[in-house]
Amino acid sequence: MVGIEVPLILTGVAAASVAVASSARSTAPYAFLMAKARAWEARMLGDGKIESMADSSSLESLLSGLRGTDYEPGLEGIEQDAWALESALSGHLLGVYREVLSLVPQRGVPFMRKFAERLELGNLKLVIQAVSGLADRELALGNLTDGLVFSKDRLEVMARSENVEALVEQLSETDYYGEMSKYLEPGDYEPLDLMRAVEHGFYTSLWKRTRDLGRKNGKVAQGIIGREIDLANVKLIFRLKSAGVGPDVILKNLIPVEGELTIELLRLCAQSDSLDGVRNVLSASPLKSAIVPLMSAAGDDVGELERLLDESLTNYCKVVSLFKPLTIATPLSYLYQKHVEVRNVRTLVRGIADGFTPEDIRKILMRSARVE
C-alpha cells in the first residue's frame, strides 16, 4: 500500500509544481525587469539634485555635478558646448531604451519597440523642417541623433532630399510609412501635414500594439497610453485655442485615439468660444479629478498647464506601476520618468548655456514622479 501511495504523492507534488510553474509564467516574466527598474529608479537624479545643479556657473560645473551618476560614462571627454551635451543626452536615452528592450518578456517586445519609436518623432519632424525650409538644413543636420529605427546617417540622407516629395518617396520605402500614409492626402505634402501624419501614425499604431500584450497587460497599457494621448490632446487644445486657431484646424490636429476622453468631448472643447469654455467642458469629463486642480493651479498660463499635465502623466504611471508591478506598467513608468529626467538635464544645459538665472531655470523644471 505504501508503495502505491508514495508514487501517488509524488505525482500530486509534480502536478502541483506544474500548476505553480504555469501560474508563475503568467506573472513572473516581469519580476526580474521590475527588480531592475526599481534599482534604476533608485539611481535617478532627485529633485534636490536637479535643482541644485541649476546653480552651476558653467557647463563645466554642470558636468562636474553629473559625475558619479548614470550620465557620467557618456559625458567623458565630451566637448563642453550645449550641442555636444544634448547629443550625448540623446545617446543616453537611446541606451536606456535598448537596455529595457533587452529585458522585456518576448510577448511585450513588439509593443515596447513601437513605444520606443517615440525617439524617432523629433528626428523625423526635424528632417521635414529641414527639407521644407522651415529650419536651416545644416543646423538641423547637426541636431539629428541615432534612433532605434533610423540611424543618424539615414536621417541625414533624408534631410538632404531635394524637396518634400523626394523625402516622402524615401519614407515610402520604410515600414514607418504604412501608418503615416493613412493621414496624408495624395500629393498633400505640406510640412505641417507631414509632421501631423508622423505623430498620428505613431500613436495609432502604438494603440493597436497594445492588443499584442494579452488581456491583462493590454488593459494596463491602454490605460497608460490612453492617458498620454488624452493629455496630449488637452495640451493641444489649450495651446491652439489660446493662439486663436479655429475649431476645424484644432480637430484636424487631435490624435485620433480615444482614451477616457471621447472625440465628441474633445470636439466640444475645440468648439468652445474661450479657454473658460474648454475648462467647463473638461470639468465634467471622466478626467475632471486629474485635470481640474491643474487648470486651477496654472490659471491663464498655458505653458505652466502643459508642464503640470506632463508631471501628472508620470505620477499616474508611477501609481499604476506600484499597484501592478508585475506588468508592462513597470518598464513604461521607468521610461516616462527617464524622459522627464533627461528633459530636466537638457533644460539645465540650455539654460546655463544661454545665461538664464538659476531661478528662471527652476521655474521650468519638472518634478520627479510622486504618489499623492
* Per-residue pLDDT tens digits for 164-189: 999 999 998 888 788 888 888 877 68
Q: Which residues of 143-158 are buried (b: 16+ CB within 10 A; e: fewer)?
A: ebbbbebbeeebbbeb
Residue 60's pLDDT is what?
A: 94
Q: What's the chain's average pLDDT?
A: 90
Q: Which residues of 93-113 are buried (b: 16+ CB within 10 A; e: fewer)?
A: bbebbeebbebbbeebeebbe
Residue 337's pLDDT is what?
A: 97
Residue 166's pLDDT is what?
A: 92
Q: What distance in Å separates the CA atoms of residue 253 and residue 264, rounded to the nearest whole number?
A: 14
* Per-residue pLDDT tens digits for 331-366: 999 999 999 999 999 999 999 999 999 999 999 999
Q: What distance in Å separates the CA atoms of residue 200 and residue 360, rounded to the nearest whole number?
A: 33
List Cα–Cα distances, 159 to 91, 131, 149, 184, 232, in angstroms: 20, 6, 15, 20, 27
The pLDDT of 200-227, averaged and rounded, is 96
Q: What distance in Å separates the CA atoms of residue 370 and residue 31, rounded to the nearest whole number?
A: 22
pLDDT at 1 exceeding the cut of 60: no
Q: Taking Cα atoms as reference points, which of 86, 104, 141 lies closest to residue 29?
A: 104
Residue 7's pLDDT is what?
A: 45
* Per-residue pLDDT tens digits for 31-63: 999 999 999 999 999 999 999 999 999 999 999
pLDDT at 328 exceeding the cut of 80: yes
Quickly tell me which residue has 509632421 as its cell: 195
C-alpha cell at 205: 499604431
Q: What distance in Å separates the CA atoms of residue 44 and residue 69, rounded to the nearest whole number?
A: 8
Quickly tell me which residue has 467642458 as its cell: 281
Residue 19's pLDDT is what?
A: 40
Task: Specify the 3-state DSSP secondary structure of 213.
Answer: helix
Q: How many H helices and E strands in the chain?
A: 21, 0
The pLDDT of 214-228, averaged and rounded, is 97
* DSSP structure string for 116-172: HTHHHHHHHHHHHHHHHTSS-HHHHHHH----SSS-HHHHHHHHT-SSHHHHHHHHT
Residue 27's pLDDT is what?
A: 53
C-alpha cell at 55: 546653480
How many other C-beta atoms are found inside a 10 Å radius of the C-beta of residue 323?
Answer: 11
Residue 76's pLDDT is what?
A: 86
* Per-residue pLDDT tens digits for 94-122: 999 999 999 999 999 999 999 999 999 99
Domain boundaries, the chain: 29-65+80-108+313-372
pLDDT at 2 exceeding the cut of 70: no
C-alpha cell at 143: 541636431
Q: Taking Cα atoms as reference points, which of 184, 186, 221 lies closest to residue 201?
A: 184
Backbone phi, psi, residue 173, to 5°: -90, 5
C-alpha cell at 211: 492588443
pTM of structure: 0.89
Listed in order, strand segments (DSSP E) in 200-287 are none
Residue 6's pLDDT is what?
A: 45
pLDDT at 8 exceeding the cut of 90: no
Task: Tell me 368's DSSP state.
Answer: P
The pLDDT of 202-227, averaged and rounded, is 96
The pLDDT of 306-311, averaged and rounded, is 96
Are residues 202 and 189 in contact, defined by beta-carbon separation less than 8 angstroms?
no
